[in-house]
Structure 1
């Protein structure tokens, strides 16, 4: 038989499809439900967005100026993989002063590219394929995908309105198996605005010790706690060694676009995260680290001012929601309200879509944050009081039309 030409052989090959070469976990993963509503509202003239969790404040000028001056000096090179020593030292000093926890700024802290990277690194560094991480829901949309991408198995635990969405130790204990390695805590919580009490955390500590778990504590909203001071799981006796604290400046200092976060914990845990960070990010952006150092050293007054303004908005907006018939418990942290829409006979998604198209108010349906979020909406009050009042007026019109 005559040998086929190269052209003939290529003709017999099946058509190439890029989708066949995508990681199965990625292929099965739905896109972010938050971004869906953000994209819709960005194309809608006159819409009010209560959807994306981002401060409406601009990063304070002295922080931006520090970055600009650093660029003028030519500071555009890599820093240490772990981050600038001065920034690590400033963060450790603040944590020691505010929470009474002492960390070694050389071995127990890593500067990351936002808290999002810190979450990803934490799961990749602590989970072997098939091992489990327990995650209370409703929760931030990235947690479950991050666990899956790390080769782990998410075990979700519902939280409930009657407990003000505080995760209960007995519910966590029921989800733990011999394959469970970690418990994710995210308080103050996105999307509910819930916080944990010391008693809640002490109950969880018993479960953590009994099952030899690591606690991954995302505390990015810690500075935005209103009625009480924030309590970290690491502050409990004997829990520092078992806890990875993840935090950053995005929410507290209006620095979302700078992408600066950090992880603090046992040297072995932080060291494992640093290994992955070395091969993926190398280091957080140098100019952003310079800005973060300025914010840590001289940005306290602006942070307190922003928190005070969020508190005013919180009280205005939550009382307004209850007045117009959207039952809402009092969120005690972050900048989200989580009202119920269960009495209207619409799913969270139906309610949110109709509200957007009929009254041009964008909120995020609660089911985006997990099954226990169904029947609720996430409304961000990180926008001006004037816009919040207008949004409430439009929402009231919509409710009356149902």
Structure 2
């Protein structure tokens, strides 16, 4: 993104805000924000720590690093506080990793639109690898091996593999068997795994197994997370990373801390207080987070049903708050509306139907494909009162304001595919 352009999801969010200010009734599905009011105790903690205005350790204070270590330990990853770094969001940590780790990037295709630009900013190449049929967030194992071999034949040096569990943009979760297969390739090919697990606590069904690559390949996996998605704190910017034990992990962590010292200095002290409370996971916070995950699942499944009924292929969402429909089965019908590729699908939905989505080609997908990401978390209401009502509802899709916007989507996509 060194050409001066803004990241496409942020640019789209600004465009929608402008269009709405001009009076256009846009249904916004193009921005991955957990559109919910902040949990009360988190706000109280932030206010209570507002007097903490001194700089602190670059990696974060011991209290917050201990809390993050406990968070990972409860997920099967025993962690020492000295393996942890906190930062103003997980995005800076991912960038610092790109600046620190040696080698080009391998990533699923499609993938979150930040990974590849960060690699390019770090002077690296990014190699997209197609997804397996059953999920996103990980590359197809056979295609991964082929991509590594082809890149090395051409003189490139792919050594960093990004995985997303659960996945943005597909809302799916890779199975434990698939994670083990990917980790075996990483071991054979000597790859560093960066496991972006910011949506781990947004799995819709708590019984669904989540296997972190750090459990399978502990010495070569860095895990990143944050509070933007599971606790709807995107604007507060709180992220954390867990580094492997041993010399390689220590060198990576030292490199990231070095970058941090020149870029963001430290996570703001009030935010460290919030993070300490959040990563300690008291019972009342776990209950709020579980309620949010149920809401995310209910609305994502409703939007998935609308897309499939209209004629799209779409993997069923099981985590996060996205669906990633493919309208290839109805390409001929869409062509009657002048829709022939990803950009024209985006433009038609925005201009004709007032629906904003993130076009698939911004996520590394083919420009000719008829795919996009829809962020279903934007449908909970335009006011905090409506959002709170959705969060508290046993059946949020039956609420009048949610039901109305879902009906609008259904009408629009049925008309598009007629």
TM-score (norm 1): 0.86
Alignment partner, residue 189 of structure 1: 167
Q: How does 1:49-64 map to 2 (within 5 A)?
A: 49-64=28-43
Root-mean-square deviation (Å): 1.9
Which deviations, in whole Å up to 9, do the C-alpha atoms of 1:85-143 show, x marking residues without a partner?
A: 1111111112111x2111110x211001101011101111103xxx3111111111111
Alignment partner, residue 20 of structure 1: none
Alignment partner of 1:375 is 2:354: no
Alpha-carbon distance in structure 1 between the residues aligned to 2:230 and 2:415: 36
Alpha-carbon distance in structure 2 between the residues aligned to 1:258 and 1:288: 7
Alignment partner, residue 265 of structure 2: 282
Residue 321 of structure 1 contacts residue 392 of structure 1 at CA under 8 Å; is this kept in 2?
Answer: no
Aligned partner (choices 61, 70, 77) of residue 101 of structure 1: 77
Q: How does 1:228-239 map to 2 (within 5 A)?
A: 228-236=208-216, 239=217
Alignment partner, residue 118 of structure 2: 146
Alpha-carbon distance in structure 2 between the residues aligned to 1:87 and 1:247: 14
Aligned partner (choices 358, 376, 379) of residue 364 of structure 1: 358
Alpha-carbon distance in structure 2 between the residues aligned to 1:35 and 1:104: 35
Aligned partner (choices 311, 320, 326) of residue 340 of structure 1: 326
Residue 341 of structure 1 contacts residue 377 of structure 1 at CA under 8 Å; is this kept in 2?
Answer: no
Q: Report SS of the residue matched to 2:79.
A: coil
Alignment partner of 1:400 is 2:415: yes
Displacement of 1:397 in angstroms is 3.4
Alignment partner, residue 272 of structure 1: 255
Alignment partner of 1:261 is 2:239: yes
Matched residue count: 367
Alpha-carbon distance in structure 1 between the residues aligned to 2:64 and 2:130: 37
Aligned partner (choices 203, 209, 212) of residue 225 of structure 1: 203
Residue 95 of structure 1 contacts residue 101 of structure 1 at CA under 8 Å; is this kept in 2?
Answer: yes
Which deviations, in whole Å up to 9, do the C-alpha atoms of 1:202-251 show, x marking residues without a partner?
A: 11122111111110111111111224132210011xx1110010111110
Residue 381 of structure 1 contacts residue 388 of structure 1 at CA under 8 Å; is this kept in 2?
Answer: no
Aligned partner (choices 267, 273, 291) of residue 305 of structure 1: 291
Alignment partner, residue 16 of structure 1: none
Q: Report SS of the residue matched to 1:275.
A: helix
TM-score (norm 2): 0.83
The answer for unaligned runs of 5 or more in structure 2 is 244-248, 381-396
Q: Indicate the larger mover: 56-65 or 29-38.
A: 29-38
Displacement of 1:54 in angstroms is 0.5
Alpha-carbon distance in structure 2 between the residues aligned to 1:110 and 1:169: 30
Alignment partner of 1:85 is 2:77: no
Alignment partner, residue 140 of structure 2: 168
Alpha-carbon distance in structure 1 between the residues aligned to 2:87 and 2:193: 18
Alignment partner of 1:134 is 2:112: no
Q: Which has the larger radius of gyration?
A: 1
The answer for unaligned runs of 5 or more in structure 1 is 1-24
